[in-house]
Amino acid sequence: MRMHKRIGILSLVVGILTAGIAQSPAPVRADVVWDHWKQAESLVASGNTGAAVPHWKYLTDYYAGAGEWENAALFSGKLDAYYDAIGDYDQAIHYYEQENQYWVNAGKDWGAEKLQRADQIRTTVELYREESNEQIVQQRTQLQGIKLAKFEPAYGAYLGVYSELDPKVGNIFTKMQTVYGKKHAIYLAYSPWGKSFPSAYAKRAKEAGGALQIAWEPHSGLDPVTDGAYLRSWAKEAKASGIPIFLRFAGEMNGAWVEWNGNPAQYIAKFRMLHDVFAAEAPNVAMVWSPGDVPANDIDPYYPGDAYVDWVGVSLYIEPYSNGDPTQPSMLATSNVERLTRLYNTYADRKPLMLSETGVPHYSHSAGEDYTEWAKLNLQRLYEIMPYKYPRLKAITYFNVDQQMDNAKNDYSLSTSSEIQNYYSQLIENPYLLSEVKEAAKPADRVGYVPIDADHQSFTKQTRVIPFIKIPEVYIGKVEYLLNGRVIATQTSLPYGLDLKAGEVPEGSVLQLRVWNKTGKQVAFRTYGISSQVSVNINGKVQSFEQAPAIVNGSTFTPLRAIFEAMGAKVDYDAATRSVTATKGSTIVKLTLDQRTVYVNGKPMELEEPARLVNGYTLAPARFVGETFGGTVNWDGATRTVSITTK
């Protein structure tokens, strides 16, 4: 088995970006324009660059207004470079994005590198939390009204790996659990077109209880890819393997470094032909269309169409230096998270996504530099932040290779560093990272993740909050958590995250994050609304209500009808008298909304707080609701949980 060719992040050619201004303005056009131009040049030459900024702004606006987009872009470039250099990142981002737009207006793609720099210096602080309500989770992870794709989990992300060059695992896939503490769901193998089906890899994947991702690569180009005896035999062997197979045909087709690049129409025709053959011969094969994340503008023309694609994959890598070249500018400020945004926004509402190949190096051989801390920062982003931010990302396959001085010259290996190996093992303990490929798979603990925003502020019992923090300075010095103005935790090491219990977070709470860089400067401060809700267990089973329980005047109110019916009672409501009658066996309970007196088998009793209507639902004191038909009620203030045990 040869090592897969790995190309580093491509440096996009910027053309004339380093050249001078396209042309001087004709004096007849506007003397004032020429004056601004010459004054700016003179100020820069004298070392007073800041004073040139108003002139550059004038010139940018002038040329944009005249529709002379190249000059407008070049002056925008002077502004973004200036603001970036002085650390005014918000202004720099504005002008980087403006420069890109002006290049687009000029019909050129020379602004792509500028957008990359804007992403690098953009401060991001986002919060995600655990959510145990499957309905809420699946609203984010499944397409409405569309059945799951082949082998698509209901939620969660399959854990995948290429282990062939891992000295501790190799092709004995059963070793993954021993070495890293968890069985993986998908194992990656590379297979060239023209060679037989990789049955040995399939056998070992089956022994490990896993599926196989096959990178099927036509190294002689697409012309030999035809329907015939070889293809049909290969497909039948795939079926005979008896395991789920993710077939990634001719991946990274948008990159000039592969032999099958350059003819989108031919690629689409071949992919569609293969889809039809495997649909007929091997229903255990899911077709994965998998470009590289760069060059981004060349991705979409190769898409074969929704009817022919089961999963959309992508090869997505980050590294300290572009193409492993330390003479190039540092790429440390680029994270893996934003690199997926464009592809995700284009295809996630059509197909589940997978990272077909991905990796985070912890050592650069070309530079002889250790990047363990940077790797840990981005491994957390890879296995915690990305599946939460992109809920349709449902598989991650790690390229577990030390490249030495080949290709990008990076060490992506998980086992050559004990610190990285232990950290990876810690991250993948999360049940959200799935160990088995099956239809509609779910995490064993049935816990998903949602962003903390206006729609997802409330939780029950307890939750864990996980921040995604990205700062221009790259390395984070300290993260401080404040709840309702009080510091409740401080973290200076990875992975970042905080456990909260419901009793600590009353309704209407405020959670804030302060972030410092390594020099001790505060660089970010964000505020989020967060609340907890009362939860109800009946005989140990968590109840789900359309109207959540609430605290009213210090008393816990729970939905009356839902709980009575869960306890086996029949409930009737008379809208005319606003009264409720509940019957179970020989016990009859009658109450009227907003009145303290209730009747149990005709005998009056007084409630501390009367039942009331909330959003069309009758809520009543929890203890009354739970005990009326003979239940025992307990209250756990730490998790704000009402537990009802029936006889």
User: Which residues are annotated as catalytic?
Assistant: 252, 357
Radius of gyration of the chain (CA): 30
CA distances from 617 to 278, 326, 564 (A): 53, 65, 13
Token pair for 224 = 């030999």
| Burial track 202-224 (b if 16+ CB lie within 10 A, e otherwise) | bebbbebbbbbbbbbbbeebbee
Q: Measured between alpha carbons, how far is 375 from 388 in angstroms, rounded to an integer?
A: 19
**Dihedral pair phi/psi, residue 502, rounded to 5°:** -60, -35
Burial classification of residue 594, based on how many CB atoms lie within 10 Å of its CB (0-12 exposed, 13-18 middle, 19 or more buried) = exposed
Q: Around Cβ 450, how many Cβ atoms within 10 Å?
A: 22
Q: Around Cβ 462, how many Cβ atoms within 10 Å?
A: 20
Beta strand spans in 71-185 (E): 124-131, 157-162
Please check whether residue 472 is in contact with residue 134, taking contact to mean a CB–CB distance below 8 angstroms. Answer: no
DSSP state letter for 9: P
CA 163, 169, 173, 175 torsion-angle sign: negative
CA distances from 46 to 32, 42, 43 (A): 21, 6, 5
Q: Around Cβ 90, how many Cβ atoms within 10 Å?
A: 10
Please name the residues in contact with 352: beta carbons below 8 A apart, sequence gap of 6 or more: 148, 149, 152, 311, 312, 392, 393, 394, 395
CA 44 to chain centre: 43
CA distances from 143 to 139, 342, 347 (A): 8, 19, 12
**Dihedral pair phi/psi, residue 72, rounded to 5°:** -60, -40
Q: Measured between alpha carbons, how far is 551 from 180 in angstroms, rounded to an integer?
A: 45
**What count of residues does the chain have?**
647
CA 189 to chain centre: 25
Please check whether residue 338 is in contact with residue 115, taking contact to mean a CB–CB distance below 8 angstroms. Answer: no
Residue 388 parent element (H or E): helix 386-389
Q: Measured between alpha carbons, how far is 174 from 160 in angstroms, rounded to an integer?
A: 13
Please name the residues in contact with 42: beta carbons below 8 A apart, sequence gap of 6 or more: none
Q: What is the dihedral of CA 293, 296, 300, 301, to 10 degrees?
A: -120
